[in-house]
Structure 1
């Protein structure tokens, strides 16, 4: 099932929420497609050429003074978290369904992985194995930059081939602007190539909260960037595991520690001050294997899962409880959870790993919504939240769609579309 039930729309969308109900389809939120090959590169539209470039769309800001025009732009953001369970991807792993590239069009992809390598002593204490994260980036780039011809045949181009970029239209090319790995935690951020000019002050920060309170088997990898004048922070977390009483306090401590210890460079040059901490950013997406469990006995949890009684299970979900008490994640939101628990599955199957099936000496795990996506910030609106059917590991990936409203400079001409403000 596609993440968003809509037709692809533009990689650049001028603001215009006009009398929208909350239940309007995503495809109705943004103005229809505008070709960005020209309007993002300081080129004017002339005569007949304007017909093909704008596809007959008349922008309401044309002819208005700068003070009458909108000073924000909206972009579509795809966010996802996936615990891989230490399983290396195959060379032919197709990620198109996970990234929702066939059904929808996004401008920014923020992707967080956990356990891209097994969490053994060699990997935790030794240097990170970059070859695995490089392979994941290669598969992501392949999926994002795969297009179809009119007859359905697959076409591919790489982000480093300038002639291919010109052939397919630069707005169709995605590039990785930043990726960072700490042991098994890996964050990768991709954008349309025509947005790269407007992205600045990229930075990354890692916090280890695992063994002895600082090793990287648990913790976070965060990436910060500014798009136009709006600051984004993506936080990929892997919090303390365990279903015993009191383990929730360890997860709370890990989360608070990540929010407190994550630091970015604050110097912006001149009088500009950049956000240094996670919560200082305009918009934040916090995702990962947060490991919060269901506070019920395993047999009762199992029966409720079989009955698909999500409401009762969510009433006993530890993360929901932390939200309701206000002990943690103040200011964050989570979309409605309407999907099955994402953990723990038998790999390559739809079957949960029930307690009675555990081998001798193996940990017993009840199903839980361990994998979550939280968000906060003015101008950030979640439009979808769900999972998808990838069975590589004992976790299912969770993904979300957002509309992100970004400020553009008020004291200078922003070159997008040649419009002022």
Structure 2
């Protein structure tokens, strides 16, 4: 028994040290070499021009933001993402967050990180975004991956139109584990910080504590507070420019996406009746996130668009039927809920839509939103 405990303790320690040592690392198409970006397998060399700290005006860019809990299922070759990523006019930036890209078992939580599913998702996204349907020009690649980061089952990637890549800088990542022992990455957040011209952005992808009990809601609230407290971005070496943002709320524009796991404060039978009537308004009065936000317990000052779509969780696999709706289903029953959400903080963001996709790939439906963001334009230094 003593040997077993000691062995497990060493495994936990190795995993913890590995998480800490790689917390600031991320993958992108481009590799920084001073003012240049060196060409990699997919990347295009880009010269980062020096800019003055004062701007000359504002412009707008469009941002497509999506979150999807894929239930630990690895995507198969040929999985069609068109209905999800081609649901609108091409955006300038795509921010795509995933939860459970690997099963949340002990091997994946405590063992070596499995990057295989993330690579498959990246390949599918690249193929979909850069298909001929979306072509802006004759360039070989229309979108560049500027940052991607995995922490156990969470995965966040940011794509930018290749002709706009030169305006993106100060890329940094920060991870907060809120799972096992309050620090492991089966729950928590990945945040990506970047600047587009003179405007700073922070994109937070999270997977909060699960469960339908009242104490589980309190754990989710605490997760949010800890993520805001513990997310810290390293300072960049900068010349003739201002200090970079170190915390989430120091950024000009912040978007938080993910499986927040907030449930409905309602019995299953009552929820089922309202779902059958498509009475989303009545159900939303019992939504834990809206209640907690309104009372000021969490996300004070944050915004969320109106919800006009059905609850996104939990579905039977390859079905439009919620889990546990009939006695034939072997899927464990869960009270339907809007677990998957997108919120934003700060001025200069205008939400154009807030909808869900209808892919039956997992027990969650993907949710996406499109924003227009105000950008401070900077003068080039001659």
Among residues 408, 412, 418, which one is paired with 2:377 in the alignment?
408
Mapped to 2, the partners of 1:316 and 1:41 lie a distance apart of 49
Among residues 102, 108, 126, which one is paired with 1:117 in the alignment?
102
User: Is 2:214 aligned against 1:245?
Assistant: yes
8 Å contact kept, 1:256–1:328: yes
Among residues 271, 282, 285, which one is paired with 1:315 in the alignment?
285
User: Is 2:153 aligned against 1:184?
Assistant: yes
8 Å contact kept, 1:84–1:395: yes
CA drift of 1:347 comes to 1.3
- Which residue does 1:383 correspond to in 2? 352
Mapped to 1, the partners of 2:142 and 2:190 lie a distance apart of 25
- Which residue does 1:81 correspond to in 2? 67
8 Å contact kept, 2:350–2:372: yes
Map Cα deviations across residues 109-152 of structure 1 (whole Å, 9 max, x no partner).
0000000000000001012111110110000000000014xxxx
Mapped to 2, the partners of 1:187 and 1:251 lie a distance apart of 20
Mapped to 1, the partners of 2:381 and 2:253 lie a distance apart of 21
User: Is 2:121 aligned against 1:136?
Assistant: yes
- Which residue does 1:294 correspond to in 2? 264
Q: Which has the higher strand share?
A: 2
How has the CA–CA distance of structure 1 residues 414 and 194 changed in structure 2, closer, same or farther, with 3 Å as cutoff? farther
**Residue pairs, 1:39-78, within 5 angstroms:** 71-78=57-64
How has the CA–CA distance of structure 1 residues 369 and 87 changed in structure 2, closer, same or farther, with 3 Å as cutoff? same
**Residue pairs, 1:2-401, within 5 angstroms:** 71-100=57-86, 103-148=88-133, 168-170=137-139, 173-270=142-239, 272-354=242-324, 357=327, 363-401=332-370
8 Å contact kept, 2:48–2:167: no
Aligned pair count? 331
8 Å contact kept, 1:346–1:352: yes
Q: Indicate the SS of the match to 1:207.
A: strand
RMSD (Å), alpha carbons: 2.4
How has the CA–CA distance of structure 1 residues 366 and 328 changed in structure 2, closer, same or farther, with 3 Å as cutoff? same
8 Å contact kept, 2:324–2:332: no
TM-score, normalised to structure 2, is 0.82
For structure 2, list consecutive stretches of 5 or more residues without a partner in the other structure.
Answer: 1-46
Mapped to 2, the partners of 1:414 and 1:259 lie a distance apart of 35
8 Å contact kept, 1:348–1:393: yes
Mapped to 2, the partners of 1:304 and 1:83 lie a distance apart of 24
CA drift of 1:207 comes to 0.7
Q: Indicate the SS of the match to 1:71.
A: strand
How has the CA–CA distance of structure 1 residues 272 and 70 changed in structure 2, closer, same or farther, with 3 Å as cutoff? closer
Looking at CA atoms only, which structure, 1 or 2, has the larger radius of gyration?
1
For structure 1, list consecutive stretches of 5 or more residues without a partner in the other structure.
Answer: 1-39, 43-66, 149-154, 157-164, 416-421
